Structure 1
């Protein structure tokens, strides 16, 4: 599975670091929206980098966005993160509205880096570019 993320967003970069720490089986690979691989995956999903307000999860030909992507990622991590699956009982429009509000304000709330996240050397092979 590939997580496509904004490497200049400090919240998004923390999310990737969290996944690197807790993905014990190396299930996830990563592509930034600033890189060619990430942009190609976004285009394939019908998304544009400009004004992007979602995390994209790609698993083969299937893609997920917003909270569906986050919940699938947490489920794949196993216990205790799999317990987040209970959030599916909250209607998607409500979950995704909260997600989009956070995504719209992510730079002002969490900060933005002028440089992209540089993966730790021991995880570099899990980043597509």
Structure 2
């Protein structure tokens, strides 16, 4: 599978998330409820498409330690806090106002992101297998 072709086949903006993380699954549900134009698509990081992503070493950690959300947009992959801000920006008003957080240095934004990511299983729990989308939103999921 060619990664670029697999990403662009739906010609959209794709949110890759940790499918066994309760915080991540809750975040995806929150995004779906606010994505009125249905521009975002979703895929588990554990899926074939997610495993094919060219990610950094931390994102490849078997527990998904630091990269609970990856965002693909316009041919680019975004990780950590930048992914979160880009996703919010894609939702439009008022969520796109979060772009003001780009004024903070990336090391500071990623420090907060990594702290939450490293503790997400402890604080929010995890499931034994990836979540299955409901029939109402199944068309938004790539895998």
Fold conserved between structures, TM > 0.5: yes
Task: Trace 1:50-129 onto structure 2 (pairs within 5 A).
Answer: 50-52=62-64, 53-54=66-67, 55-129=69-143
Helix, strand or coil: the match of 1:70?
Answer: helix
Instruction: Give, in angstroms, the shift of residue 59 of structure 1.
Output: 1.9
Q: TM-score, normalised by structure 1?
A: 0.91
CA offsets 1:55-111 (integer angstroms, 9 cap, x no match) = 211124311011100001001101111111111111110010110011011100111
Q: TM-score, normalised by structure 2?
A: 0.83
Kindly indicate whether the alpha-carbon contact (under 8 Å) linking 1:74 and 1:84 is maintained by their aligned counterparts in 2.
Answer: yes
Higher helix share: 1
> For the structure 1 residues 30 and 49, does the alpha-carbon distance in structure 2 shift closer, same or farther, using more than 3 Å as the test?
farther
Distance 2:74 2:60 in 1: 19
Helix, strand or coil: the match of 2:133?
Answer: coil
Kindly indicate whether the alpha-carbon contact (under 8 Å) linking 1:33 and 1:39 is maintained by their aligned counterparts in 2.
Answer: yes
Where structure 1 has 5 or more consecutive residues not aligned to the other structure, the ranges are: none
Distance 2:96 2:138 in 1: 26
Helix, strand or coil: the match of 2:42?
Answer: strand
Helix, strand or coil: the match of 2:52?
Answer: helix
Two-structure CA RMSD over aligned residues (Å): 1.4
Task: Report the number of matched residues.
Answer: 127
Where structure 2 has 5 or more consecutive residues not aligned to the other structure, the ranges are: 1-12
Out of 25, 38, 46, the position equivalent to 2:37 is 25
